[in-house]
Structure 1
C-alpha cells in the first residue's frame, strides 16, 4: 500500500507529443521524476493489450521489433489509456498521438519505455491515431501506427481529492495527500497508484502509502522535504478503472513549494513546546494538554488547516452536560477527530503546569498569535509523553510511522534502493 516514485521522460515527439470538516477540540479518537514508470515495480503498463496491426515501414533490413497498443480498431478504450510499447533492437524515439480533429496530444514515456502516457485525459467517444517510431543504434527506423476509439462517459465514478494547491507554500512535513470516495480496494490499488505521479526539485526519494480503508494515499520520503523543494503532482486517474465498475472522476494536479523548516515539539513531562526554525530554537511555549479523561494524542502530526477565528461546538457530540460551545482564536487543526493548537486564555494559569484541555494543545493568546503568524499548513508538530497514541489516518499521519512501516502501505513493489534509506 505505498506507491513508488515513478519517472516519465520527455520523448522527442513529432507533433507535440475536499474541505476540512470542523469538529470541536477534545475528541481523541536537480529533478526527481516520480512520474510513470513501470520499470521500478516491474508492473505492466496500464491500458488495453493486443499488438497493433498498422502498416510497418523499414529502412533496409532493420532488426527492430515494435508493437503498440491499443490494437488497431480497438473500441471502448478507457480515456485513461496509455500507448503500450514493446520494442527490441532499438528505442522509441518519436511518438505522435492525434485526436479526431488532427490535434496533437502531449505526453511522456515511462522511464522503462513500457508505455507512453498522454499528458491529459483523453476525450470520450473519440477516435485517436498514433504513430510510433523506433530507432536502432545504427540509425535505422521502424514505424508502427494504430487507431482506436475511446468509451463513452461512465455511469459510476470514484470521487477524488488532492490536498495540494498551485502556487501555495507548505511546511516541510506536508505529505502529498490524495483522497478517494469510495475507497479503493486492495486489488485495485496498484493500477491506481501507477497513475499517481510526483516530481521533486531538487531530487528527493519518495513513496506512496495507502491507509487501510483505501480512502487516502500519502506520498513522502524517508525524511522531511528539504526547504525550498518544489512538488509537481499529477493524479492522472480521470477515466481510469478503479474497481467495482467505477472510473476515476478526473485528473488532478498541482505545483507547490515547500517553505522554511519550522518544527514544534511538545513534551508532556515539561508541559512545554519547543519551536525550532531552520534548526535553531526560537521560542519555548508553555502548554496545557488534554486532561486524564480526554488526553492529547502522542505522535507526529502536521498542521492541516488554520483559522484565525472559529467556533468549537461539541454539544451534539458530547451531549448537553459535557458538550460546550465556545469562540476560539488562532486554531490550527492537527487531527480529523478535533485536536488543535489554539488560544486558550482560560487555561493560561495551568499552561506549563498541568493538563486541563479536552485534547487540544492550549497556549496563551500571545503565543497562539505568534505561532499562527509563523506556521504553514504542513508544518510538523510532535507530541510525546501522553497516555493516548495517535491513530494512523487520524489526520495526515504519514510521518507517524517509521520509513520501513510506511513502505508496507505500497500497492506496488518497492525498489531495494528505497528500502535501505533511513
Structure 2
C-alpha cells in the first residue's frame, strides 16, 4: 500500500505505487527503527591564530541540519545503509566541503559521496559494509575557508548483523539470509499489476535492490493515493496493517497480509507491497534494521535509484559521477 504525501520530485520520477500509508515517506524524517534521536557530537573548533589587529573574527557560513542514520547508542543499521548529510543552506563550493567529510569504518571499504541536491550529499560504499562494526563520520567544517566559527561534527554508527532478503515474485517466496545463512523462508504475495498510470504499472512491485527505511508495528494504509476518499466508492479502503517495514518512497512495504492468506506462496494479489504471513511478517519486522538489503526480482517494473534509499541501483562507476571531487 502507499503513502498519501510524497516528495514532489519523487512523484515525477517514480509514479505512485499501490500501497498507501497515511504518514509521509521522507528519508530525513521518516519514523526510524528506533524513534529517539541520538545527539550529534561536536569536536573542538581550532582556535584562530592571532593577527596584528587581534584575534580573528569567527564566522559561520555553513552548518549541518541533519545526519542519517542515528548514532550507535540509538540504533544498529544494516550493511547497505547510506550516510545522508543535509546542510543548513545551499552549498556552492561542493568540492571543498566534500573534502572535509571523512568516513572511517573499523573494517575499511571503498566509498564515495554523491550530491543529490544543493544541500544534501549521500555516502555509499562500493560493496556492503562488513557487519558488526562501528563507523565514524566526521565533518571538519571549521576548516572551510570563511567558516571558522563552525563546529566540527562527528557521529559514530553501529552496523548490526548482515541481513539480505531475496524476494522472488514469480515463485512467491522471500528468503531471508542472516550473516550469510538462510534464516527463514516466508510465503509472500507481491503486486498483481493492472493499473497503468503515465506508462507505469503502479500495481507492480518494483524489481531491484531496496533498503529498509523504517518500520511501524501498525501502519494506516488508504486508497487516497488514487484519489479515492469516499467510503461508498467500491475502490475505497482504509486498513490498519501490522508489521509494516518500508522499502521505498513510492509506498512499498513488507507487511502482514490483511487476510487473503490463501494467496501467499501461490499468486501475486497485492497493490505493490510484499504481503507476508502473520508469523513471517512479525519475525521480519522484529529483526529489521534501517539499511538492510531487500532484493526483489521477477517484475517488469524497475526500481529507480532515487526512490527512497535505492542507491544500490546505480553501479559503482555511476555512483561516483555524483561526487564533486575529481578522484
**TM band (smaller chain):** 0.7 to 0.9
Greater relative contact order: 1 or 2 (C-alpha under 8 angstroms, separation 6 or more)?
2
Q: How far apart are 1:371 and its partner, in Å? A: 0.8
2:17 to 20, 28, 36: 28
- Which residue in the other structure is 1:202 paired with? 107
The Cα RMSD (Å) is 3.5
Q: How far apart are 1:147 and its partner, in Å? A: 6.3
**C-alpha distance in structure 1 between counterparts of 2:53 and 2:133, whole Å:** 40
Q: Summarize deviations over 1:360-402 as a string: whole Å, max 9, x none.
A: 1111111101111222111100111212111122111222211
Mapping 1:178-193, distance limit 5 Å: 178-180=85-87, 184=91, 188-193=93-98
Q: Summarize deviations over 1:115-167 as a string: whole Å, max 9, x none.
A: xxx94457xxxx83369xxxxxxxxxxxxx9965234566xx77632112222
**C-alpha distance in structure 1 between counterparts of 2:259 and 2:159, whole Å:** 35
1:173 to 80, 91, 110: 80
Any conservation in 2 of the 1:344–1:364 contact (CA below 8 Å)?
yes
Q: Summarize deviations over 1:165-193 as a string: whole Å, max 9, x none.
A: 22231111112122346664xx5321221
Alignment coverage as a number of residue pairs: 281
Any conservation in 2 of the 1:161–1:252 contact (CA below 8 Å)?
no
In the superposition, relative to structure 1, how do residues 223 and 356 fare at CA in structure 2: closer, same or farther (>3 Å)? same
2:254 equivalent to 1:254: no
SS at match of 1:150: coil
**C-alpha distance in structure 2 between counterparts of 1:249 and 1:340, whole Å:** 40
2:299 equivalent to 1:386: yes
Any conservation in 1 of the 2:50–2:56 contact (CA below 8 Å)?
no
**C-alpha distance in structure 2 between counterparts of 1:382 and 1:406, whole Å:** 19
SS at match of 1:128: coil
Q: How far apart are 1:273 and its partner, in Å? A: 0.9
2:234 equivalent to 1:330: no
TM-score, normalization by structure 2 = 0.74
2:307 equivalent to 1:307: no
1:220 to 94, 106, 124: 124
Structure 1 gaps of 5+ residues are: 1-20, 30-117, 132-144, 415-422
- Which residue in the other structure is 1:417 paired with? none
Higher Cα radius of gyration: 1
Any conservation in 2 of the 1:199–1:232 contact (CA below 8 Å)?
yes
TM-score, normalization by structure 1 = 0.59
2:183 equivalent to 1:282: yes
Q: Summarize deviations over 1:254-308 as a string: whole Å, max 9, x none.
A: 2121112111011122121111111111221111112212111111111111211
